[in-house]
Structures are given as C-alpha cells and as structure tokens.
A and B are shown apart, each in its own frame.
Chain A
Amino acid sequence: MNLHPTLNTIRSRIILGEAALVTGLVVVAAIGVGALRTLGSTVSGEQETLMRLSGEGNRLVVALLDQVRAGEQYLTDRSSSALESFRSAGVEAHRHRGRLQSYPEWTLSDRIVLGRIGLLQEEAEAFYALAHAQQDLGRRGAALASAAAARTRADSLGDLTREFLANQGKRAEETAAALTETAENGVLSVWTVLAASVIAAAAVGVATLRSVERPLARLASAAQRFGDGDLRPVPLGDMPQELRELTDAMDRLGGTLRNLVAGVVNESDRVAGAAEDLSAISEQLAAAASDISTATSGISADAHQQVDELNASSTSAGGLHQTGDDTLRVSRRVAELGAGIQRLAESYESDVSAVGSALEDLSRFAQTTADQVQELDRLSVPIYEFIDLIKQISSQTNLLALNAAIEAARAGERGVGFSIVAEEVRQLADSSSSAAEQVSGTVKTIRDQVSTMASTMADGRARVLGVGSVSRGLADALASIRQTVGEIESESKRVAHEVSVNLEAINQIQSTLHNALDAARSHATASEEVAAAAEEQGASTEEMAARAGELSRASEKLRGLVREFRA
C-alpha cells in the first residue's frame, strides 16, 4: 500500500476514519435537516396552494349557485335588479373560474374539469338568458324548457364541482404520498449515507488495523528472531510512521547487539586461545616442575650419596694414611732390591758381547755362499737357451721328414728309397729332441739343488742375524734394567719423601673432608627442601593447569553461547 507519507501513520488513519464517519454523520444531518426543511416548505406551500385553490373553488361554487339562484329568481321576479344580479353573479363566477384556471398548479385533468365547468357554466348561462328572453316574450313553455336545460347543466356543474373537489382530495392524498415518498427517499438517502460512511469508516478501520497488525506481527517475529539469537537485519516492509520509528529503534538495537556480540565472540575467541595457551604452558610447567622435582630428588639422593661417599672418603683418607706408611716401607725395600739387580746385570754384560762377535762371522760366510749360488743360477741360463734351439731344430726336421714321406708316397716306387731316408731323418730328429730334453732335466736338477743350498744358506744367515739381535737386545735390556733400577731407587726415595709430605696433606684432606661432609650434609638438607618446594610448585602448577583447563572450557562454552547469535 503506497500511501502519501502523511497518510501513512496510525494517527492519520484514525483521523481519516473518524473524519469519514463524522462527514457521513454531518451529511446525514444535512440531508435530514434539508429533507425536513423541504418537507416543511413543501407542506406549507402545498397547504397554501390547497387553501387558495379551495378558497377560490368555494367562491366559484358560491358564485355559480348564486347565478343559478338569480337565473331562477328572474324567471318569476323579472325585475331589473334580478337580471342585474344574474349578470353580475355570472361575471363573478367567470372571474373566479378564470382566476382558478390561471393557477399553474393544475394538472391536465384539473384543467379539463375546469374547462368543462366553464363550458357548462357558459351553456347554463346561455340557457337562462334564453329562458329570460322567452319569458319576456311570454313563452312560458319554452322558457321552462330552456330553464330545464339550464338546470340540467347546473346539475352537471354540481357533479363536476364535486368531481373537482374530489380531485382536490385526491391531489391532497397524492401530495401526501409524494411527501411521504420524499421523506422516505430522504430516509433512504440517510440510511445509504450512513451505511456508506460506516462502511468507509469500517474500511479505514480495517485498513488501519491491518496496517498496524501486520507490521506488529512482523515486528513480533523480528523480535522473536532477535530473541532466538538471529540478529541479522530484517526487512520489515511498509508500515505506519509510528511503527516505523519502533522498527528503526529495533534496527538500531539489533545493530548495537550485533556489534556487541561480534565483540564478545572475538573476545571469547581470544580468551579461549589464551586459556589454551595457558593450559599448554601450565602443563609444560607442571612437567618441568615434575622434572625439577625428580632432578631435585636425584640431587638430594646424590647429596646423600656424596655424604656417604665423603664419609667413605674420610675413611679412605684414613686408609690412605696407613697405605702411605706401607708405601714408604715398600719403596725402601724396592731400593734395596734394585741395587741387587744392578749388580747382577753388570756381571752378564761381557758374556753377551762375546757371543755377538761370533755370530757376526757366521753371518758373513753365509752371505758369501748365497752370492755364489746366485752366480750359478745366472750361468745356467744360456744352457736353457741352447736346449730350446735344439728342440726347435728337431721339430722342424720332424715336419720336414713328414712332408718328404708324403712326397715319397706320391712318387710311388721311385720314392721308396727316399721315404726310408726320410724316416731315418725323422728318427734322428726325435732322438735329438729327447737328448735335449734330458739335458734340460739335468740342468734343472742342478739348479734346484743349488737353489736349495742357497736358501738353506739364507736361512742360516737369518738365524745368525736373529741370534745377534737377541744378544744385542739382551745387552740393551741389561742396560735398561740398570737404568730402571736406578730410576726406581731414585723414585723410591722420592716416593718416600712424597709419602711423608703426602701424609701431612692427607691429614689436611681429612679435615677438609670433614668440612665437606658438613657442607654436603647441609646441602642434602637444602636439596630436600628444594625438592619439597619443587613438589609444592608442581602441585601449584598442576592446579594452575587445571584452572587454565577450566578457563579454556568456560571460554569455549562462552564462545558456543555467543555463536548462537547469528550476527
């Protein structure tokens, strides 16, 4: 419904409806008053007319009767005054009839009746005049006949007058009927206007109700949506100004809520994130605390162990002091033993030198033998070369003998001698080859024997060389023993000295150990305390972690709640 903006308010609609109703009532009142006035004026007009007409009609009737009376009177009286009376009554009657006729109110039937009255009057008048003339002439019979004719007309005149008066009655009835009809038309108009105005008012009312109810329903559903958490803007359509203001307010409310909810969602997201982080961190912290606790426990245990060990060390230090005394005694014994060993080594040294020189001579001999063997081996090489040459020649010769045998076969008889020769040659070649083979074998045997001898020689030399090194090592060992023993003597002496010095140090260490033991004990106590504190911290951290978890869950719940708003 696209109304003019000024009409689109509940107020203006109500005013419109009221105005329609009031206008209708005013129109009804106007119609009523107008109808009453019309009725009044019509009634008075009709009354006046009726009175005038009836007055004139009565005067006409009177004049007509007067004329008839005068006419009849002249028939007997025949005075001039009677004649004059008849004439003037006639004039009067005509005048009244003429005046009646001139009224515009008559209907056609009235006019026809009036015309017939006039005609009858004129005829009656004429017959009376004729009767008078006949009477004047002494014609009584004719005069009576004329008078009778006049009276017939006078009677008709009476009938007509009665008819006329009846017409007036009818006219009055018709007028009354017309007035009634007018009044009823007025009533009908009034009812019509009333009905129209009521319908108009009802229509405006219904339109107003609709224009209010529909937007209200839309507003209610929008509010319901808001209540359900759907904060999206709702297009509410056309509505009256007042509701529009409400709608605008609701829109603004929705906008504000949307912003608010969006902020809350963001904040809850952040809180949830922070809670999760906190939870993680506190878990880590708890783990770390646990670790610390464990570590502290370890430290505490270690501290106890340290104390134990320090106790042990203190005991050991006591032992050490004893050992130092023992070592002093041992080192003095060692020095004594070293001196004996040195003397024994000096006695073996000269024997070892003599063995050494004998062995060197043997070694030189073996070297010489090896050199000769090598020379022999070098000399056997050309023999092998010569043998190879012989084997080559005998092979060639064998092949040649074969070819010759083949050719001899081809020559048949003539070649028999040649084949025998060839065979001989071939056997010769074979004998050469086997001889060469035997030489080669012999040479090889010689070389193997020489070689064996050479290696035996080399082996002997190596053994000689080994014995030489043993003897040299022995000499060196003896020297080393002597030196070592010397060093042991000096070291023993130094040890003895050091041990004596050490004893003092041990004494100091023992006192230091006591101190350390005290410190360790207090350390252990402290570490126990630390462990306790660490455990306590761990518990706190776990609680914090639990709280962080709760916070996280709460923020999740909050986020869930806020998510139900569709902003």
Chain B
Amino acid sequence: MTPRLNRLARGLVNSLTQLMLFPAAAFTFAACASTDEPISIGLAGPLAQPHTGSMRQGAELAVAEINAAGGVRGRRIELVMRDDSGSATRAARVARGLADNPAIVAIVGHMTSGPTAAAAPVYNSGTSPVVHVSPSASSTEIADLGPYSFRICPDDRLHAAVLAEWARQEVGANSAAIIYHNSAQGRALSAAFRSYFTRSGGRVSTADPFVTAVADLEPYLTRLRVRGGTDALMIAGEGEDALRVAMAIDSFGVAAAAMGSAGLWSTELSPIPLEGTLVSTHYLPSMLNSRNNEFVVAYKRASGGREPDHRAAATYDVMHLLALAIESAGTARSSLRDYLAGIGTRADAFDGVTGRIAFDTRGNAVGTEVTMAVVRGGRLVAAER
C-alpha cells in the first residue's frame, strides 16, 4: 500500500472510529451522570512533602462533613489525590491526567505558584476544560491564568506590602536581605517585597536564590554576617526549605529579624526553628468568624490536637465552596466554572473560615486581608504592634 493510500485509509478509519466512539462516549457520560456514583474532585499538590499534610487534612475534613450531611445532590464527594511534587513538570503531567478524566468535576490545587502556573494552561485548554481552585498559589505572576483558574488566597503583593510595612514600621529595618526559593512563588514574593520595601525607603542589600537541590546557604549568610547592617531577613520559601533557611540563619549568626509569608509556616513541621519569626498570613486559628471556631475544633479533633494552618483552612474552604457550586450548578464543568466566576457578583460571596470569599474577573480572591503573626511558643499568633 502506498503511503498516500495508507493515509487515506487511516483517515477513513479515524472518521469511522470517531463516529462510533462519539455515541459510546456520550453514553458513558450519561451513564456516569445518572448513577449514584460519588462526585470526584481532584486534590493536587506536593502531597508527599510533610508540610502539606494540613492541606490534605483540611480537604478530608470538609469532604467528611459534606458527605455526613448527605453529600451533594444526593451523591458523595470523593477526593482524587495527585502528587505534583511541587514541580512544574510533574504538575503539568498531573493536570493532564485529571483534566482527561471525565469523572473529575473540579480540582483543588495546586498548592504553590510554579506548579499552578504549569498546570493552569492544561486545565484551561482542551475539549473539556475544568476549573481548578488553588488554596495557596499566591504569585503575582499567576494573576491571570485563564477563565478556569481560581485562587482564594491573597496575592503575594499583599503579603509583600504587609511584610515591608511591618519591617519598616515595627522592626524599624532600613536594610533588608532576601533569601528566596528560586521558584515562581519565591521570586514573586521576593520581587514584591523588594519593591514595597524599597518604595518605603528601605534598601535591599542582597536577594539570593536557592533551589531544593542546591541548599547550601552558608555563603549567602556568611556574606550577610561579614557585611553586617542587615536589619531584616526576608525568607521567601515554603515548608522544609524555609525551615532550613531559618535554621541556617540561627547557625550562621545573622542578627536580623526573620520574616516571611504564610508559606513559611506549617503545623506539620517543627515550629522551633521559626520561633520568633514574623509571618504574614490571611488565616489564624484565632480569627473571629462564624465558622472558624467550629472548624478549629473539628480540625483539632481530626488531627490529634494540632491547630489548622492556612493551608488546611483554605483547602477546607475550597472544598466547601466547590460543594456549594456543584449543589447550585451541577457537575458539568462549564456550568461549575460559570457559577464560580459569579461568586461575589451573580451569586453571594462565600463565607469561609478564612473570611469572605469573592472572585474578580480573573479568578483572584478579592477583599482578602493579610495580617502579621508571629511564631510564639510553637504557635502562630497574631503579632502585636
């Protein structure tokens, strides 16, 4: 058979196959929708990393509550968890798998900005785009990822502004150094802090990147100590990386007020290295709102007495928000997206444990507040001026 004929034959076979598969696919879809099978929601993040345990617990708590209350539209919620390892490469792969699974109606994730930025184009493209709501991807760079991308956390600039202001006003720092995780989130926070701190009259002496694979921070810290004059040390990193930085700061005797955004803090890790560190956050267990007390109690009960961190609270809120959306708009991906886009405008804003949630036209949470907290006695408590 000549190649040309071959292609012709293949084209014909393809057409026929599509013709045959289309009714089959439609039938499968109808069958799924009509049974009492659980509604699947994806949960994507660096789940293997210890500091994200709270995220999973927040999600599971919410799902347990929803299912205990009779599920959504009479159907149970089921979590489909996928680990992106905090890597853009893996995140894209995970996103492809979730988006291609027709049973998945929405995704909670991803956790951080780099993987979220890598995954968002996947969720937003293709024949059947699917919404993903990130609880904590805060990078300024990902403010406009597409119509199916939402996040309920404040932007890094808000954190950076609060941190810069606190460093200047409360710490009285004139010079600040930045050590950032060389990821989208870290770079964004670093850049924002530099911007705000500089604008408010401070000086950023150095901004040094680190990567997980290359975690030797000693030259940076030694240089800071040798040069001296650094009042505040901004750590732009998450979890264990951030913890390592904090520990290194102590080790190499840099006398500066350590500070960073909520990513620093995790109730899943030892709080000791962070003792005294200033943390900007939009959630504290002590926050006063109608739902938070119950949540904290329930979370503590579920997690062996540990308090929820912002990951747990935000993930908990996202789960409940999605449940509400599905209850209102059904399981169809596009109608779910339309409903979410209308929250705060076409639909009422959602009162979550992290506060009142509404979306702007690009899927960013509006009206969120960031406050300063401090690690005190192993707990994250509101910082006092």
The residues of A with any CB-CB pair to B shorter than 8 Å are 87, 91, 94, 98, 101-106, 108, 111-112, 114-116, 118-119, 122-123, 125-127, 129-130, 133-134, 136-137, 139, 142, 149, 180-181, 184-185, 187-188
Query: Is A139's CB under 8 angstroms from B88's CB?
Result: no
Which B residues are CB-close (under 8 A) to A126?
A: 182, 209-211, 214
Which listed residue (B96, B118, B183, B219) contacts A142, Cβ 8 A? B219
Looking at B92, B114, B208, the one whose CB has the most chain A CB atoms below 10 A away is B92
Shortest CB distance B166–A (Å): 25
Chain B residues contacting A184 (CB-CB under 8 Å) are 4, 7-8, 11
Of B120-128, B339-347, B358-366, the one contacting chain A is B120-128
* Contacting pair A188 B11 (CB below 8 A): yes
Partner of A103, one of B96, B121, B183: B121
CA distance A115 to B209 in the complex (A): 18
Once A111-B89, A123-B213, A188-B12 are accepted as A-B contacts, the answer to whether A102 and B145 lie under 8 Å apart by CB is yes
Task: Please tell me if B93 contacts chain A, counting CB pairs below 8 Å.
Answer: yes
Distance between B202 CB and nearest chain A CB, rounded to angstroms? 18
A148, chain B: closest CB distance, angstroms: 13
* Chain A CB within 8 A of B83 CB: no
Q: Which residues of B contact A185 (CB under 8 A)?
A: 11, 14-15
Contact B117 A94 (CB under 8 A): no
| 15 other A-B residue contacts (CB within 8 Å) besides A111-B118, A111-B122 | A87-B207, A91-B191, A94-B184, A102-B117, A108-B122, A111-B121, A112-B92, A115-B87, A115-B88, A119-B89, A130-B214, A136-B219, A184-B4, A188-B12, A188-B15
- Indicate whether A133 sits within 8 Å of B208 (C-beta atoms), given known contacts A94-B187, A112-B89, A119-B89: yes
Q: Decide yes or no: A130 and B92 within 8 Å by CB, A98-B117, A102-B121, A184-B8 being known contacts.
A: no
Q: Chain B residue with minimal CB distance to A134?
A: B219
Say how far A554's CB is from chain B's closest CB, in angstroms: 81
What chain B residues lie within 8 Å of A106 (beta carbons)?
A: 121
CB-CB under 8 A from B120, the residues of chain A are 102
B68 interfacial by beta-carbon distance below 8 Å: no
Secondary structure class of chain A's binding surface, majority of residues: helix
Chain A residue, CB-CB nearest to B7:
A184
Is the Cβ of B89 less than 8 Å from the Cβ of A116?
yes
Number of chain B residues close to chain A: CB under 8 A? 45
Q: Is the CB of B124 within 8 A of A104?
A: yes
A-B contact pairs, 16 of them (CB 8 A): A98-B141, A98-B184, A102-B120, A111-B121, A114-B118, A115-B87, A115-B90, A115-B92, A116-B89, A129-B208, A181-B10, A184-B7, A185-B11, A185-B15, A188-B8, A188-B15
Which stretch (B47-55, B220-228, B295-303) binds chain A? B220-228
Interface string of B169-199 (1 = CB under 8 A from A): 0000000000000111001000100000000
In contact, B213 and A108 (Cβ under 8 angstroms)? no
- Contact yes or no, B182 A137, CB < 8 A: no
A127/B214 in contact, CB under 8 A = yes
Q: Roughly how many angstroms separate A149 CA and B184 CA in the complex, as a whole number?
A: 22
> Do A139 and B219 touch across chains, with their CB atoms under 8 A apart?
yes
List A contacts of B213 (CB < 8 A): 123
Q: Which residues of B contact A (CB under 8 A)?
A: 4, 7-8, 10-12, 14-15, 87-93, 96, 114, 117-118, 120-122, 124-125, 141, 145-146, 182-184, 187, 191, 207-211, 213-214, 216, 219-220, 222-223, 226
Which residues does chain B contribute within 8 Å of A102, judged by CB atoms? 117, 120-121, 145
Give the residues in chain A near B93, CB-CB below 8 Å: 108, 112
- How far, in Å, is B86 (CB) from chain A's closest CB? 11
Query: Using Cβ atoms and an 8 Å threshold, which residues of chain B touch A101?
Result: 88, 117-118, 121
A112–B121 alpha-carbon span in the complex (Å): 13
Contact status A133-B220, CB under 8 Å? yes
- Residues of A within 8 Å of B223, CB to CB, are 133, 136-137
Q: Closest A-chain residue to B90, C-beta based?
A: A115
Using Cβ atoms and an 8 Å threshold, which residues of chain B touch A130?
208, 214, 216, 219-220
Residue of B nearest to A127 (CB): B214
Q: Knowing A139-B219, A188-B11, say if A122 contacts B118 (CB, 8 Å).
A: no
**B122 — which chain A residues lie within 8 A by C-beta?**
108, 111
Chain B hits for A122, CB < 8 A = 182-183, 209, 211
CB neighbours of B182 from chain A (8 A) = 122-123, 125-126
How far, in whole Å, are A233 and B88 apart by their CA atoms in the complex?
A: 92
Contacts of A142 in B (CB 8 A): 219
Contacts of A119 in B (CB 8 A): 87-89, 211
Distance (whole angstroms) from the CB of B132 to the closest CB of chain A: 14
Q: In the docked arrangement, what's the CA distance between A105 and B146, Å?
A: 14
A16 to B187, CA, bound (A): 72
Q: Which residues of B are found within 8 Å of A181, using beta-carbon distances? A: 7, 10-11
Once the chains are docked, how many angstroms separate the CA of A139 from the CA of B222?
12
**Complex: A444 Cα to B27 Cα, angstroms:** 172
- CB-CB < 8 A to A139: which residues of B? 219
Within the assembled complex, what's the spacing in Å between the Cα atoms of A136 and B221?
Answer: 12
State A139–B223 Cα separation when bound (angstroms): 11
Residues on A with C-beta less than 8 A from B208 are 129-130, 133
- Closest chain-A Cβ to B56's Cβ sits at a distance in Å of 24
Most chain A CB atoms below 10 A, which of B8, B184, B210, B214 = B214
Return chain B residues, CB-CB under 8 Å to A136: 219, 223
Give the residues in chain A near B125, CB-CB below 8 Å: 104-105
B271–chain A nearest beta-carbon distance, Å: 27
Q: Which residues of A contact B92 (CB under 8 A)?
A: 108, 111-112, 115
Q: Are A123 and B89 in contact (CB under 8 A)?
A: no
CA distance A111 to B91 in the complex (A): 10
Interface centre among B4, B90, B118 (most CB of A within 10 A): B118
A86 to chain B, nearest CB (A): 11
Measured CA separation A187–B208 after assembly (Å) = 60
CA distance A137 to B206 in the complex (A): 14
Residues of chain A within 8 A of B220, CB atoms compared: 129-130, 133
From residue A179, how far is it (CB to closest CB) to chain B in Å? 12
